[in-house]
Chains A and B, each alone.
Chain A
């Protein structure tokens, strides 16, 4: 439904986006995860023709966005909730979108209710909080009854209730066959919302796939009071390992060849005492995210 092929954009000599290829299937929510400045927004803007790519292409429903006859009937976009005319009411903003889409303006009242803005509908957008603008932006994205949604940081400014509401809404949209691509710089947000993940760092895709697969354990954590002896034993068995948290070692499963049983056997053979032996747990994605993105992003994630 949403496909990009080797999208590339440079600003002067600075590469903003490099060879970004991704694919979003109907019925899925893809999280587009990266630190601020990693190139998420530029990539999304190239998908919808707001930014001209230097190379590569993006299609939605098989066509470049600019060739969709009435794009908001196909894909709803929310790229910047603060980029709405402040002098227009929320209702008028949605009515414009409804008229462009060619859907009955009665749909506007339904949407205002759906995003919880009925009471504020006739106030000017300039008086809205960021959270209210996000809600209005989501309503605007839904006006044309699209089959896909592209949302840039939709959780920004929403309170916890609002975030939970949005997750439910996006899940429902995807469960009914819709395609969702949403960006975030917050790992937990993506983890709670998406089922597919594309991680971008310094303008390039560094990991992509099903969230379950990316979360699936690819390492085993093994701890011993004699880590040096354990390391020697593992090296003798030709098993790769790295220093893990708090003096433990993490061992690559090497495509399933290495299991906790195998490690227990090696420890027994070398007379090394083990105090912990288990699959590394879910924070692996976090470690992946931390290791792939900048330390700045890691700090932000920790602070959030």
Chain B
């Protein structure tokens, strides 16, 4: 076993290292989001769940509007069941797996690390949205092969709404992960909070129309008209406020 440090220590004096480029942090966080067994299973399940869900309108045509937008919407719902969990793990995992020790000693400017993780979450969201588009196209191909004709209603507006809907769900996961800093708690919250607010929403139109995540269905359906204030409030509630609070907490928190 070699224990020669002579070249290491003397060479280094000549070349003072520069700062870590942000692109490098993003590449590293991308690797961390995709290189563990848990994350690979999760991404596989994300892919599987949207592909499985889209079978429903194919196999039960009478229960669903046979429009392209319906198919795309079902794929989006399939993607967003587990995609927020991927984002949660990317943030909260640093604390739950205690790898923050390593991460924040490799780059002590925590804001850059958090931003790199945010960028990776959005990239994963975009990747998932593209995948969902392909799944939808295949599903539509299958229906037309079976001789069914679908209303061709997917334009730029619907596609954009679909992408924003997927990314909003990812961001809600990011916000919970960075705020709660515990994988188990954040995952539980990501399922329990929307569900319980949904229940509250059945009794309170205020919650149903302004806070409940179903508000984002207007985004998915490209039905922004008259709903912008509600959509904005729900984004504040699910994304902006917890994200800001979570950033503040993660930047200050002692790693122990």
Q: Inside 8 A of A68's CB, which chain B residues have their CB?
A: 108
Chain B residues within 8 Å of A77, by CB: 105
Taking A85-B97, A114-B1 as contacts, is the C-beta distance between A48 and B108 under 8 angstroms? yes
B255 touches A50 (CB 8 A): yes
Chain A residues with CB below 8 A from B19, complex form: 69-70
Contact indicator B6/A176 (Cβ below 8 Å): yes
A41 to chain B, nearest CB (A): 8
Shortest distance between the CB of B3 and any CB in chain A (Å): 4
Q: Out of B1, B20, B28, B93, which one reaches A85, CB within 8 Å?
A: B93
Whether B31 lies near A52 (C-beta < 8 A) is: no
Interface residues of B (CB under 8 A from A): 1-6, 8-12, 16-20, 24-25, 27-28, 31-32, 35-39, 93, 97-102, 104-109, 252, 254-256
Asked whether any CB of chain B lies closer than 8 Å to the CB of A39, the reply is no
Contact of A84 among B4, B9, B99 (CB under 8 A): B99
Q: Contact: B12 with A100, CB < 8 Å? A: no
Give residues of chain A (99-132) contacting chain B, Cβ–Cβ below 8 Å.
99-102, 110, 113-114, 116, 124
For the complex, is A79 an interface residue (Cβ under 8 Å from B)?
yes
Inter-chain CA distance A65–B98, complex, in Å, is: 20
B39 neighbours in A (Cβ, 8 Å): 87
Instruction: Say how far A289's CB is from chain B's closest CB, in angstroms.
Output: 26
Report if A49-B97 is in contact (Cβ < 8 Å); known contacts: A88-B35, A100-B24, A102-B17: no
Chain B residues with CB below 8 A from A45, complex form: 254-256
Give A147-173 interface residues, CB cut-off 8 Å to B.
147, 165, 168-169, 172-173
Q: Give the size range of A's interface with the partner.
A: 35 or more
- Which B residues are in CB contact (< 8 Å) with A274? none
Q: Tell which of B36, B98, B100 touches A87, judged by Cβ atoms closer than 8 Å.
A: B36
How many contacts A-B (CB < 8 Å)? 131
Complex interface: chain A residues within 8 A of B2 (CB): 110, 113-114
A65 and B28 alpha carbons, distance in the complex (Å): 21
Give the chain A neighbours of B35 by CB distance below 8 A. Answer: 88, 92
Closest to A179 in B: B9
Q: A45-B256, A70-B17, A172-B4 are in contact. Are A50 and B32 (CB under 8 A)?
A: no
Cross-chain contact B1 with A50 (CB below 8 angstroms): no
Whether the pair B101, A96 counts as a contact (CB closer than 8 A) is no
CA distance A168 to B252 in the complex (A): 38
B20 nearest CB neighbor, chain A only: A70
Contact across chains for A69 and B20 when beta carbons are under 8 A apart: yes
List residues 79-102 of chain A with CB under 8 A from any CB of chain B.
Answer: 79-80, 82-88, 92, 95-97, 99-102
CA distance A131 to B4 in the complex (A): 22
Q: Which residues of B contact A196 (CB under 8 A)?
A: none
User: Can you list 5 A-B pairs with a CB-CB distance of less than 8 A?
Assistant: A48-B105, A49-B108, A69-B19, A92-B31, A102-B24
Please determine whether A72 and B106 come into contact, CB atoms closer than 8 angstroms: yes
Contact for A177 among B4, B10, B105, CB less than 8 A? B10
- Complexed CA–CA distance, A114 and B4 (Å): 10
Shortest CB-to-CB span from B7 to chain A, Å, is: 9
Pair B108/A71 contact, Cβ less than 8 Å: yes
Taking a contact as CB atoms under 8 Å apart, the answer to whether A49 and B4 are in contact is no
In whole angstroms, how far apart are the Cα atoms of A172 and B2 in the complex? Answer: 10
**Is there a chain B Cβ closer than 8 Å to A178's Cβ?**
yes
User: B255: nearest residue on chain A (CB-CB)?
Assistant: A50
Judging by beta carbons under 8 Å apart, are A96 and B32 in contact?
Answer: yes
Q: What residues of chain A lie closer than 8 Å to B11, measured between beta carbons? A: 145
Q: Roughly how many angstroms separate A145 CA and B10 CA in the complex, as a whole number?
A: 10
A169-B3 in contact (CB<8A): yes
B18 contact set on A, CB distance < 8 A: 69-70
Query: Which of B12, B16, B105, B107 sits near A79, CB closer than 8 Å?
Result: B105
Assembled-state Cα–Cα distance A95/B9 (Å) = 21
The answer to whether the Cβ of A37 comes within 8 Å of any Cβ in the partner chain is no
Is A43 part of the binding interface, using a Cβ–Cβ cutoff of 8 Å? no
How far, in angstroms, from A156 to B83 measured CA to CA in the complex?
A: 39
Closest chain B residue to A145, Cβ basis: B8
Nearest first, the 9 A-B pairs at minimum CB distance are A87-B36, A83-B98, A50-B255, A73-B17, A69-B19, A176-B5, A83-B101, A172-B3, A66-B108
